[in-house]
Amino acid sequence: MLQHRYCVIMADGSGSPFQLRVTYERFVRVLPQSNILVVTLARFADEARRVLPELPPENLLLEPHARGTAPCMAFAAYTLLRRDPEAVIIATPWDLVIRDDDLFARTVIEAANYVDGHDVLMTLGIVPKTADINFGYIQVKEGRNAHLMTGPLKVKTFTEKPSADLAEVFVRTGEFFWNSGIFIWRASTIRAELERYTPEVTELFRGWETQLQDPVFLEKAYAECPRMSLDYGVMEHTERAWLFPAHFGWADIDRL
């Protein structure tokens, strides 16, 4: 199934080009180099090509405007569905710091193996070390001490940046994980859920089957598109949300 797995690096261009390179090389350990795509703003195209000269031109997707991760994923999912209807997407921000690349690779592969056979929207959930109020938290249905379990868990709730007292409760229960921002899903599944929950985004891509590479089509779609995150637009509403526990070191680069 490896030939059907793709990484989509969501790179808004706001930080160090070095981190984009690090993220790219991290995923070369997981899947074929030709299956790594970068989505970034058109104004950062030259920088992305400089940092990743080996990236195939068709794997650099250029957004005319910044509209958040939901439109970004719609663009990427439609692109990959044209290329490979069986595509499984591993979507990641460009600016994460990961410690223990071997454990990271094993976790991603195990989660992707599950997604291969199930129509789910999987998030890698980080077992929290502290009651940090700067992260989003995901509660699972398996109850107390779920952080000790292995394998996929069914998501119950999402909470974005709780109060300090609430974060303390979350961590004590063992039911909550930090939201890593790394997702794994079939392109066909995220397409269906985007079209169900964010029609104000996906309707603007109507005609994607033949027009997606047309700059005029993309400019019009993005100019009219609302700014929206995947968490807000899809993950907080879908019944297909699952979580895969992750134990590798993880941090948002902005928090270092």
Cα separation of 218 and 214, whole Å?
A: 6
Helix (H, G, I), strand (E, B) or coil at 137: strand
Query: Which H helix or E strand runs over 69?
Result: helix 69-83
Chain-centre distance of CA 66, in angstroms? 16
- The token pair at 69 is 């991760």
Per-residue confidence band for 235, with pLDDT thresholds at 50, 70 and 90: very high
Q: Looking at the predicted structure, is the pLDDT value of residue 179 above 60?
A: yes
The pLDDT value recorded for residue 256 is 42
Q: Looking at the predicted structure, is the pLDDT value of residue 147 above 90?
A: no
The pLDDT value recorded for residue 146 is 85
Give the pLDDT confidence of 100-120 residue by residue, as tens digits.
Answer: 999 999 999 999 999 999 999
Round the average pLDDT of the chain to a whole number and report it.
Answer: 93
Nearest to 249 by CA among 137, 126, 123, 138: 126
The pLDDT value recorded for residue 252 is 66
Q: Looking at the predicted structure, is the pLDDT value of residue 14 above 80?
A: no
Nearest to 187 by CA among 241, 93, 115: 115
pTM score over 0.85: yes
Note the residue count of the chain.
256
Nearest to 246 by CA among 116, 99, 27: 99
Q: Looking at the predicted structure, is the pLDDT value of residue 80 above 60?
A: yes
Q: Which amino acid is at 110?
A: E
Q: Looking at the predicted structure, is the pLDDT value of residue 59 above 60?
A: yes
Cα separation of 21 and 183, whole Å?
A: 20
Residues ≥6 apart with Cβ < 8 Å to 199: none
The pLDDT value recorded for residue 12 is 84
The pLDDT value recorded for residue 190 is 98
**185-196 average pLDDT score:** 98
Residues ≥6 apart with Cβ < 8 Å to 65: 41, 222, 223, 225
Cα separation of 64 and 46, whole Å?
A: 14
Q: Among 56-70, 72-86, 98-112, 141-155, whose mean pLDDT is lowest?
A: 141-155
What is the domain partition of the chain in residue ranges?
A: 2-255
The pLDDT value recorded for residue 149 is 82
Percent with pLDDT over 90 in the chain = 85
- Evaluate whether the domain defined by 2-255 bears CATH number 3.90.550.10: yes
DSSP assignment of 165-223 equals: HHHHHHHHHT-EEEEEEEEEEEHHHHHHHHHHH-HHHHGGGTTHHHHTT-HHHHHHHHH
